[in-house]
Structure 1
Amino acid sequence: MAKKTEATVEEKLRALYDLQLIHSRVDTIRNVRGELPLEVEDLEDEVAGLNTRLEKLGGELGLIDDQIKAKKILIEESKASIKKYTEQQKNVRNNREYNSLSKEIEFQELEIQLAEKNIREYRAQIEQKNSVIDQTKERVGERQKHLKHKKQELDAILGETEKEEQALLEQSQAFENSIDERLVKAYNRIRSNVRNGLAVVAIERGASGGSFFTIPPQVQVEIAGRKKIITDEHSGRILVDEELAREEQQKMQEVFAKL
């Protein structure tokens, strides 16, 4: 804590600009990845959803198959009943008994016709569901192939950048620990509110880097003096002079080269 209090304004500006350079490099790495992680996640969700649909369709086919089996059993039972009633008709004592058995036979025949109609409907449903299953399986195959490609792409990028990103994040934490907590909070607030995450920018040809509003000559002199922290009145960014920025960029490039 003592070192933070004793640090000069120039040391604070250099540390802040170094922190910005680190974060800008992390942003660049993440931009290289772009939307790939989200694309992979969306594809994984889509494949999982399609597989869930296949499971549901498979379950529905099982239920329909059970219904067909039940109707076939009913048909066999009705046929057995018809055979029994037909045999009983041979031994009836009067027309009333004969007609009663005839009605039973007629009813069982209607039951058979209805069951056969149901079976045809169930088979049509099976055909339709099998068509949907085939289409879904084809879609799953396409999505899995696309997912594999995207994962390979993402893994390749992560393999190239993950180690460097982690090292940069560790360095950014070390820099934050060396800067006044108040300044770090201000830096993070500015960074979250401005375009491209640039919270600390250099003067470029008399204008604020990132916003390009001209800085009055007297203010430029104050910035170059490095005696106080000055912000751009238009964007709120912390401003540093070109020479300081050039020196820190060269220093940090050497640091990044070792990562």
Structure 2
Amino acid sequence: MEYRKLGSTGYEVSTISFGAWAIGGSWGDVDDDESLRALHTAIDKGVNFIDTADVYGDGRSERLISQVLKDRSEDIVVATKAGRRLNPHVAEGYNRENLTAFIERSLKNLDVDALDIVQLHCPPTDVYYMPDVFRVLDDLKQQGKIKHYGVSVEKVEEAIKAIQYPGVETVQIIFNMFRQRPSEMFFDLAKQNDIGILARVPLSSGMLTGKMSRKTEFADDDHRKFNRHGESFDKGETFSGLDYNTGLDAVEEIKKLV
């Protein structure tokens, strides 16, 4: 396993991380025992970075991670997220009361005294123009509830705006063979500012594995069925925003290049 410095956080993290959305749910049937085995196997292979969120299974993902960490002696960095529990999911909801409550809940779920990294969870664009939101995160860091914070974004433009706040140390952004704008517009800027980059949706919701076809069926509780066109949350998230059949055609073209 290779390890890299994660921006200014001081963490040396594995280049391959464990994405813990699936173990919380929204990817079809989930078995907790299988999820725990997967986490242990990842750590056995050298993974020391886990990405989760308070909304994954309404805390289920965080609680499973907590179980595993109690059994391990390795130093594992856990990055969680906050904000998506808001209903409605509006910029005004990113206030001191709500953010503090979300952090307290994640502390309880993970059973830790301080969160390694907290990321705003793909908030509305307006949030990036609300300095008070980032002051709240600064205060939570000062209080010792979080060690570092960053953002998970939908758009490159949001990433560029976010790193203007000095407390932002990491940016999580969609980056894969279908979504290349970050490498063209943001990565150099991030490097200049010592910002850690966390690539998300690297396999375009599994499409880039080459294992899907037009006959592939997804369970009703799998976001690849119920959110294919952004019906339930961000358009541009599931399958990186690509039309399913168009994506399959693109994968076939990619196979010819290998």
Q: Same fold (TM over 0.5)?
A: no
Q: Which has the higher helix share?
A: 1
TM-score by length of 2: 0.25
Q: Which of the two has greater strand per residue? A: 2
Name which structure has the greater RCO, CA cutoff 8 Å, separation 6+: 1
